[in-house]
Amino acid sequence: MARILGLDLGSHSVKGVVLDSGAKSHTTQAFAEVRRAQEGERPETLRAALEELLGKMPAGHVDQVVIALPGPSLTTHAVSFPFSDSKRLEEALPEEVGSQLPFDISETVYDYQVVGLKDTGGKLKAADLLVGVVRKEELQSLLALLGSLQLDPRVITHPALAYQNLFAQAPGLFEDLGVGSTVAVVDIGHERTSVAIGRPGQGVEFARTFAGGGRDLTRALATEFQTTVPEAHQWKEAHGAMASAAQGPDAGRAANAFVRGLQPVLREVRPSFKSFTARTRRQVDAVVLAGGTARLPGLAEQLSKDLNVPVRVLALPTETAEKIPAGDAPSAAQAYALAMRGNAAGAKAPRFNLRRGEFAFKGGYDFVKERVGLLASFAVTLLLLLVAFGVVRNTVLARREAEVDAVLCKTTQRILGTCETNYDRALNMLKGVESPAAALPAMSAVNLLAEVTQRVPAEVPVRFERIQVDLDRIILQGETDSSKQIDTLSTALKGHRCFKDVKEGEVKKTRDGQKVTFRLDVQVQCPGEKQGGET
């Protein structure tokens, strides 16, 4: 059983979820959240919070670490191509993505996820891609910081695409929203909001990340009550509420401030929904909230009014209840989804991973070591299948060989008067001078006539007045439009292996001057035969 750590490197707090993953199931082993210091250099506050978080994790080795790229450094591009072949996509992406960047594509690391396929009327399908791009120095700095803490993530994914794992592996989380519903997971963090739209059981079809979140609500509250941001944040966590959950004069004032602070997020969410609808011709049927800000009472009700769709807070699977309290589920959602990414395999595993090229993950021995038993069982199964395939193939070939021998024996018995099952010897006997088959011509007049008619080009308008076919000579007389058409016909006839030479006779114009008459003499001699068809 492998141990997977999903890390959400939030700007306000870092969250970690540990899953023990087996061949057919997984269990949640731990959850922890540590707040980052709001003063100081960001790398240092992240390092300190991660050190504290790792101290709260269960003792023992972690086989796999999965993270989403933190901060605003990741840019997202929607790209469409009239094909979906992975090799062609890899070749076409650099130029397409590079044209949308203010810097050279060689300075970046990027990857893509196919989020939609469309029929083009032929064999090929058009592909809609979500492409995430980050500058190399940003990714290198993050990996160096994590490396100093003995963390080497196998996967660095897109923060919105992380929810692909919930759509694909835990569709039951959305079953109350209706079968076939289009659901938007809106993860409102402290400084960043991620939107992932898709269908449960299928996957993400639209993903986007933009600036804005709980910090804007805190600042709006600080402005309303003329207080400091830290004091406003503390009051928001202790007493903040929106919509019908806001009770009392101060709570009402605060709720109005929160509504104002929420506008930057709404200004991005609404166009995101419209963009998805324009591309897919489907409306978003429901919204599920995640992220630390989703814990604010009344936020779901307020967003339901603003977006005019049902909104509820995300609940994690019941098996997580022992380790992740229900109140912490929205905050733990992305870390849990990231851990599920490590649990995914095959078609369920999203492609997107920024560990590519020079930043590719080079570990994995310990992860494979945990699966030696599973790999051994796969190897034994494959060996048994190969043995069975060999037995069946040999049986079929033996049966076919017996059938061929029987046919060869019957043929040689009829022609030569003796049964012969050796193919090479039978062929030599049939070709021999004394063989009855030696008198048979290799080509008949009917064969030659068929070859002539098949080689008349479709674009040459010709009417034959005389066709004389002998085994050593063919005479063609007729009329066509021009001398050029005669040359085309002559060239086409020369393409046959038995038409050794094609001579053009006299060419004359017809009485009306519209066409020309011609004669072609074709010498017939197939390779390996003597003149006249004698062997």
In contact, 111 and 130? CB cutoff 8 Å:
no
134, pLDDT greater than 90:
yes
In contact, 66 and 7? CB cutoff 8 Å:
yes
- The pairing of strands 311-313 and 286-290 is parallel
Kindly report the number of other CB atoms within 10 A of residue 362's CB atom.
8
| DSSP codes of every residue in 102-155 | SS-GGGEEEEEEEEEEEE-SSS-EEEEEEEEEEEHHHHHHHHHHHHHTT---SE
The overall average pLDDT reported for the chain is: 87
Map residue 438 onto helix, strand or coil: helix
438, pLDDT greater than 60:
no
The DSSP call for residue 194 is E
Which residues have CB under 8 Å from 331's CB, separation 6+?
Answer: 13, 15, 33, 291, 292, 294, 295
Q: Please choose, from the candidates 289, 297, 334, 489, the residue with its C-alpha nearest in 3D space to the C-alpha of residue 14.
A: 334
Mean pLDDT of 318-340: 92
pLDDT tens digits for range 1-49? 688 999 999 999 999 999 988 766 789 999 999 999 988 899 999 999 9
CA 100 to chain centre: 22
Longest pairwise C-alpha distance within the chain? 119
531, pLDDT greater than 70:
no
Residues paired with residue 480 on neighbouring β-strands, in sequence order: 462, 516
Mean pLDDT of 82-105: 89
Half-sphere exposure of 131 (CA within 13 A, CB side): 24
CA distance between the termini of the chain:
76
Report how far residue 245's alpha carbon sits from residue 275's, in angstroms, rounded to the nearest whole number. Answer: 32
- The pairing of strands 2-9 and 64-68 is parallel
pLDDT tens digits for range 217-261? 999 999 999 999 999 999 999 999 999 999 888 899 999 999 999
- The pairing of strands 286-290 and 183-188 is parallel
In contact, 133 and 75? CB cutoff 8 Å:
yes
| DSSP codes of every residue in 443-474 | S-HHHHHHHHHHTS-TT--EEEEEEEE-SSEE
325, pLDDT greater than 80:
yes
In contact, 240 and 285? CB cutoff 8 Å:
no
Residues paired with residue 313 on neighbouring β-strands, in sequence order: 289
User: In the structure, what pLDDT confidence band is assigned to residue 263 with cuts at 50, 70 and 90?
Assistant: very high
In contact, 349 and 114? CB cutoff 8 Å:
no
pLDDT tens digits for range 208-219? 999 999 999 999
* pLDDT at residue 431, rounded to an integer: 63
Lowest-pLDDT range of 40-54, 283-297, 478-492: 478-492
Which long-range contacts (C-beta less than 8 Å, at least 24 apart) are formed by 343-350? 343/4, 343/19, 343/21, 343/26, 343/165, 343/169, 344/165, 344/168, 344/169, 348/165, 348/168, 348/169, 350/113, 350/157, 350/161, 350/164, 350/165, 350/203, 350/204
